[in-house]
Amino acid sequence: MTDASAPRPGLSAIFEPKSVAVVGASADPSRIGGRPIAYALRAGFKGRIYPVNPNREEIQGLKAYPSLDAIPDEIDFVLLAIPAKAVPAALAAAAAKGARGAVLFTAGFAEVGAEGAAMQAELVATARAHGIRLLGPNCLGMFNTEVGHTPTFTSGLESGMPLPGRVGLVTQSGAYGTHLLSMARDRRIGVKVWVSTGNEADVTAPECIEYLVKSDSVDVIGAYMEGVNDREALFRALAAARAARKPVVMMKVGSSAIGAEAAASHTASLAGSDASFDAALRRFGVLRARTTEEMLDVLYAASISPLPRGRKLAVVTVSGGAGVLMSDAAEEYGLEMPALPQDAQDRILARNPLAAARNPVDLTATVLNDFPIVTEGLQALEEAGGGYDMTAAFFTSWTASPVVGPKLRAAILAGLPGGVTTPFAMICQGGPEVNDAYEPDGMMIFEDPSRAIRALAALATLGEGFARAEAEEADPEPLPELPEGFALPAHALSEREAKALIASAGIPVPQETLAATPEQAAEAAAALGGPCVLKIVSPDIAHKTEVGGVALNVSGGPAMLAAAQAMLASVAAHAPDARIEGLLVGPMISGGVELIVGARRDPVMGPVVLIGLGGVFTEVLRDVAVRLAPVTRSEARAALNSLRGAALLHGARGAQPVDLDAAADAISRLSVIAAANPDGFDSLEINPLLARPDGVVALDALLTPLTAEETPA
């Protein structure tokens, strides 16, 4: 028996065993216990298969054994197609034979309630005690065509093994994973490894992703996710993928759940878990696909094409309409379409006066009579200072024509003498022969122009993620440092205390005076001169305005005296039990742009920062950016610029631009506080952080501690 707390073995026994026992093996290749054997035989499994069935001598041409004990050799992996109650004994027997991996198809565990969950916990304990990694239960298994290992009953292999290729697919839904598998075949994606993780009692989807990152036979990874329980494992897997420069395309369902979380508090609802999930994927350069089709298109593209260095798109077309359509799509998906340099335009027009040469480059149907126009057009693009990062070329049904097709292909290849070095999408028609004619040279085939542009834009996003990784690895940007001994208290803070806290971390706050009495407040106002702000100070009052605890634009001692007296009376009436620590007097600071900057502990993704413009932008338009904490100043700046209302920061409507560096610095500092205390707070919000041309200042701050049930044990 293995110590349950010891490091768990890796997944190679699950993904690439040399010998497999199938307990509950069936002679019928359509049954759950029969399919995995039939598939393995078809896939040419390179190891040994031991069907276990007490009632048969032979199963699907293989010698069968009455029990695991009866198998004469060691086994690496055991497939369990048996009732739940028989599983513990089978695991023990498998372990005795040396097994380190197992898959359990059976349903009826944690997904059906408390009793099933208890059974599942027991199962995991048994597996761990025996040093066995367990895939499932309630899953459809997996396959790895590299070694022909197919412990799965998915119907996705019924029509044959996947196309050759180097894509790995991880799915948390067996049924939808099967659907994906069929769609992937139609999309010409070669799925090398597929794994459905079911209840994830032991092996999780992030672990499988990490395994695929390390696998030599997989280059591109797709994942269909429904939820994540272990963020550290997810981050580890995605960081590994990024370090290995393996593109990951992920679909995460459940985004509309945000809408249902109506009762959540203000910041909570904005930083809801879907936005935090997005933030995590952004951090690691993962491409989040919104639809199945998008995921498959991007997997297809990434498995064929190099990644681009930028977003400059050249469009070549033989239909003006398709050129316009692709220009629209380029704008929608954030690609740039700079015009060709004038000399390149001149060259194209000299050759073909009917052409449009700006970009899109419309070579027109004249090409049909003069294919070198294509070659020369592509050369003109290539030689245009190397300015384009990718090409979309519309040739409609010409590719499929027996007469025109080969001429076109030759003309295109002649136009790319150095081969495909930047993404090249052909938008055209035809069957698998057309794919076979272009894909081996690195050209992608699409039928719908909009889908081609979307995929090119996705490649650009993946390329940007890797470029960021490269830059960070070469020259990591330092994070702001917190002062020695900086700590977040575990209790609520008054505004004054919260401001002092963030000030100590380097975030500018106004110079304020804490007055004990209205008279002291009046003195402070007189000393400050000019208009002042007066606020109540109490650890028990989170929303000061609601109790009459804020007075703006109070000028001079007498006015301040009156305002302070009125405030104390109002607060006493509205919040009679609140502990009053005093009255805060500060200068009235106005103008600039109000930001809301919050740090929050997401229950799934941990500490995140939330950045928005104040007022209607956050409250009505939900125009916020969420990022995993910590963020560097550059990341904070990029997040600010990603807001729909970012123009306001750059001086829209005649205003002066605000000090973006100062804003980014404050955000970065707040994010460092949050990251240093991942389980130590609920939220820490600066609202507003006033951004002005000459800097920023936090006009209010609020620390909300964890509630009792959130506090980690």
Q: What is the CA radius of gyration of the chain?
A: 31
Question: Should residue 324 be labelled a site residue for its own copies when binding is judged by CB under 8 A?
Answer: yes
Q: Read out DSSP for 525-588?
A: HHHH-SEEEEEEE-TT-S-GGGGT-EEEEEESHHHHHHHHHHHHHHHHHH-TTPPP-EEEEEE-
Smallest distance, Å, CB 652 to its own copies? 5
356-395 positions binding its own copies, by CB under 8 A? 365
Using CB under 8 A, pick the residue from 46, 63, 574, 644 that binds its own copies. Answer: 644
User: Nearer to its own copies by C-beta: 582 or 614?
Assistant: 614
Place of tokens 């899109």: 360
User: Nearer to its own copies by C-beta: 91 or 355?
Assistant: 355
Q: Counting beta carbons within 10 angstroms of the beta carbon of residue 187, is it exposed (0 to 12), middle (13 to 18) or buried (19 or more)?
A: middle
User: Nearer to its own copies by C-beta: 85 or 653?
Assistant: 653
Report the residue count for the chain: 713
User: Nearer to its own copies by C-beta: 50 or 446?
Assistant: 446
159-188 positions binding its own copies, by CB under 8 A? 172-176, 178-179, 182-183, 186
Type of residue numbered 38 = A
Question: Should residue 433 be labelled a site residue for its own copies when binding is judged by CB under 8 A?
Answer: no
Identify the CA nearest to 570 among candidates 538, 533, 545, 588: 545
Using CB under 8 A, pick the residue from 18, 214, 451, 468 that binds its own copies. Answer: 451
Using CB under 8 A, pick the residue from 375, 429, 570, 634 that binds its own copies. Answer: 429
Cis-peptide, bond into residue 247, ω within 30° of zero: no
Confirm if 632 and 479 have CB atoms less than 8 A apart.
Answer: yes
Q: What are phi and psi of 538, to 5 degrees?
A: -155, 135
Question: Should residue 350 be labelled a site residue for its own copies when binding is judged by CB under 8 A?
Answer: no
Tokens of 241: 């993928």
Using CB under 8 A, pick the residue from 617, 665, 668, 677 that binds its own copies. Answer: 617
Smallest distance, Å, CB 179 to its own copies? 5
Distance, CA of 221 to CA of 585 (rounded, Å): 57
**Pattern 82-101, binding to its own copies, x per CB under 8 A?**
--------------------
Tokens of 688: 């507003």
**Pattern 105-144, binding to its own copies, x per CB under 8 A?**
-------x--------------------------------
Distance, CA of 252 to CA of 222 (rounded, Å): 11
Tokens of 573: 């009436």
HSE of 548, CA atoms in CB hemisphere, 13 A = 14
Distance, CA of 162 to CA of 181 (rounded, Å): 8
Cis-peptide, bond into residue 630, ω within 30° of zero: yes
HSE of 250, CA atoms in CB hemisphere, 13 A = 27
Smallest distance, Å, CB 572 to its own copies? 23
Smallest distance, Å, CB 404 to its own copies? 9
Question: Should residue 579 be labelled a site residue for its own copies when binding is judged by CB under 8 A?
Answer: no
Smallest distance, Å, CB 363 to its own copies? 11
SS3 state of residue 353: coil
Question: Should residue 578 be labelled a site residue for its own copies when binding is judged by CB under 8 A?
Answer: no
Using CB under 8 A, pick the residue from 36, 148, 449, 688 that binds its own copies. Answer: 449
Using CB under 8 A, pick the residue from 292, 375, 517, 555 that binds its own copies. Answer: 292
Smallest distance, Å, CB 617 to its own copies? 8
Identify the CA nearest to 452 among candidates 540, 323, 593: 323
User: Nearer to its own copies by C-beta: 186 or 475?
Assistant: 186
Question: Should residue 301 be labelled a site residue for its own copies when binding is judged by CB under 8 A?
Answer: no
Question: Should residue 4 be labelled a site residue for its own copies when binding is judged by CB under 8 A?
Answer: no
Smallest distance, Å, CB 261 to its own copies? 13
Which of 414-418's residues contact partners 24+ apart within 8 Å by CB, and which partners?
414/375, 415/374, 415/375, 415/376, 415/377, 415/378, 415/379, 415/382, 416/378, 416/382, 417/379, 418/382
Using CB under 8 A, pick the residue from 39, 143, 211, 224 that binds its own copies. Answer: 224
Distance, CA of 213 to CA of 218 (rounded, Å): 7
157 contact partners, CB below 8 Å, separation of at least 6: 35, 39, 42, 143, 150, 181
181 contact partners, CB below 8 Å, separation of at least 6: 154, 156, 157, 162, 169, 191, 194
Confirm if 406 and 389 have CB atoms less than 8 A apart.
Answer: no
Smallest distance, Å, CB 201 to its own copies? 17
Distance, CA of 431 to CA of 262 (rounded, Å): 49
Distance, CA of 302 to CA of 286 (rounded, Å): 12
Tokens of 601: 């502990």
Smallest distance, Å, CB 337 to its own copies? 9
Question: Should residue 619 be labelled a site residue for its own copies when binding is judged by CB under 8 A?
Answer: yes
In which element (H, E) is residue 607 found? strand 606-613
Question: Should residue 269 be labelled a site residue for its own copies when binding is judged by CB under 8 A?
Answer: no
Question: Should residue 329 be labelled a site residue for its own copies when binding is judged by CB under 8 A?
Answer: yes
Question: Should residue 256 be labelled a site residue for its own copies when binding is judged by CB under 8 A?
Answer: yes
User: Nearer to its own copies by C-beta: 6 or 620?
Assistant: 620
511-540 positions binding its own copies, by CB under 8 A? none
Question: Should residue 330 be labelled a site residue for its own copies when binding is judged by CB under 8 A?
Answer: yes
Smallest distance, Å, CB 331 to its own copies? 4
Question: Should residue 261 be labelled a site residue for its own copies when binding is judged by CB under 8 A?
Answer: no
Smallest distance, Å, CB 616 to its own copies? 6
Using CB under 8 A, pick the residue from 44, 320, 334, 603 that binds its own copies. Answer: 320
The CA-atom distances, in angstroms, between 501 and each of 387, 509, 586 are 49, 10, 17
Applying CB under 8 A, which part among 69-77, 98-106, 155-163, 201-209 lies near its own copies?
155-163
Question: Should residue 334 be labelled a site residue for its own copies when binding is judged by CB under 8 A?
Answer: no
Distance, CA of 499 to CA of 448 (rounded, Å): 55
Using CB under 8 A, pick the residue from 66, 98, 254, 406 that binds its own copies. Answer: 254
Tokens of 228: 């994540």
Question: Should residue 569 be labelled a site residue for its own copies when binding is judged by CB under 8 A?
Answer: no
How many residues touch its own copies (CB under 8 A)?
64
Using CB under 8 A, pick the residue from 122, 146, 230, 293 that binds its own copies. Answer: 293
Smallest distance, Å, CB 653 to its own copies? 6
Binding site for its own copies (CB under 8 A): 30, 112, 155-156, 158, 172-176, 178-179, 182-183, 186, 224, 226, 251, 253-256, 259, 290-293, 318-322, 324-325, 327-332, 354, 365, 396-397, 401, 403, 429, 447-451, 615-617, 619-621, 644-645, 647-648, 652-653
